[in-house]
């Protein structure tokens, strides 16, 4: 009898270890899939906007650009053709500095510009002084080529922590994350990108696309996405318009 319980006790411990390991593996996968760990902060501390409570059906399409000069033209031309002006382009300052003609095209087409920092290096790997310098340098360089002062900041790779939020807040920048990640840089096919957006579309969502040269299917996916969102009664707006005078939902970082 004792031998029976020893065997079963051993198996129970093995099963428990497997269960715990599986739980933590799933937790890690979840956090990595979100690109950001979300923790509680005290009330009143700086937070990152990822969605907004709005009146009416409004949704923000955003595009990150940090390298290349080919894909962005086809995306800009499509948006102009479809009369979609109110989208937000988050640009790295270094890229904007190298491509003033494209920045001018973005502004001329009526789009909003946000910052991706200057060198597109993760802020969580930098000292606070470096983060501050990078944010200000990006703002300066983007201002020089666009004549617009950026106050929307999407930290490179979406990586930030409490220190980054506090630095951005002191520099009068609003940190903007996203609520729908299209993963378009992985080139999963236009159908998959379309499904990702339309299956989760809701008022106040902030959608992440990319317009760097790595994306092959974004332009094609946009055809269906824009058409279907409009048919469903959504108004396409900039991030600035989305969060202005609304109750913004924010990620909480510690």
Encode pLDDT of 211-241 as tens digits. Answer: 999 999 999 999 999 999 999 999 999 999 9
Torsion sign over Cα 154, 159, 161, 164? negative
Q: Enumerate the domain spans of the chain.
A: 1-34, 48-251
Is residue 248 a contact partner of residue 102, using CB atoms and an 8 Å limit? no
- Is the distance from CB of 214 to CB of 182 less than 8 angstroms? no
pLDDT digits (tens, 9 = 90+) for 51-89: 988 888 999 999 999 999 999 999 999 999 999 999 999
The percent of residues in the chain predicted with pLDDT above 70, rounded, is: 79
Q: Which one-letter DSSP state was computed for residue 185?
A: G
* Per CATH, domain 48-251 is 3.20.20.370: yes
- pLDDT category at 249 given cuts 50, 70, 90 is low
Contact 236, 87 (CB under 8 A): yes
Averaged pLDDT, 39-49:
65
Band (253; pLDDT cuts 50, 70, 90): very low
Q: Which of 218, 173, 174 is nearest to 65 (CA)?
A: 218
Mean model confidence pLDDT for the chain = 84
| pTM of the complete model | 0.81
CA 112 to chain centre: 15
- Does pLDDT of 24 surpass 50? no
Q: Is pLDDT at 31 greater than 90 in this prediction? A: no
Instruction: State how far Cα 143 lies from the chain centre.
Output: 22
Q: What pLDDT is recorded for position 28?
A: 32
Instruction: Count H helices and E strands in the chain, helices first.
Output: 9, 10
């Amino acid at each position: 009898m004792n031998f029976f319980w020893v065997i079963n006790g051993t198996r129970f411990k093995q099963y428990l270890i497997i269960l715990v390991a599986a739980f933590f593996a799933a937790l890690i996968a979840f956090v990595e899939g979100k690109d950001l760990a979300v923790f509680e902060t005290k009330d009143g501390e700086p937070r990152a906007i990822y969605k907004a409570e709005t009146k009416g059906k409004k949704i923000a399409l955003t595009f990150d650009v940090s390298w290349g000069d080919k894909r962005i033209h086809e995306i800009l031309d499509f948006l102009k053709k479809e009369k979609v002006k109110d989208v937000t382009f988050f640009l790295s300052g270094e890229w904007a500095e190298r491509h003033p003609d494209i920045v001018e095209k973005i502004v001329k087409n009526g789009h909003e510009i946000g910052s991706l920092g200057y060198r597109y290096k993760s802020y969580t790997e930098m000292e606070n002084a470096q983060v501050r310098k990078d944010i200000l340098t990006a703002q300066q360089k983007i201002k020089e080529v666009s004549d617009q002062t950026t106050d929307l900041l999407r930290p490179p790779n979406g990586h930030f922590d409490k220190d980054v939020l506090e630095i951005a807040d002191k520099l009068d920048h609003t940190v903007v994350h996203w609520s729908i990640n299209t993963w378009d840089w992985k080139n999963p096919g236009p159908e998959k990108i379309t499904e990702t957006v339309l299956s989760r579309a809701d008022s106040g969502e902030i959608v992440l696309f990319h317009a760097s040269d790595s994306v092959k299917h974004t332009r094609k996916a946009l055809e269906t996405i824009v058409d279907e969102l409009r048919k469903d009664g959504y108004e396409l707006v900039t991030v600035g318009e989305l969060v202005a005078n609304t109750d913004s939902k924010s990620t909480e970082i510690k």
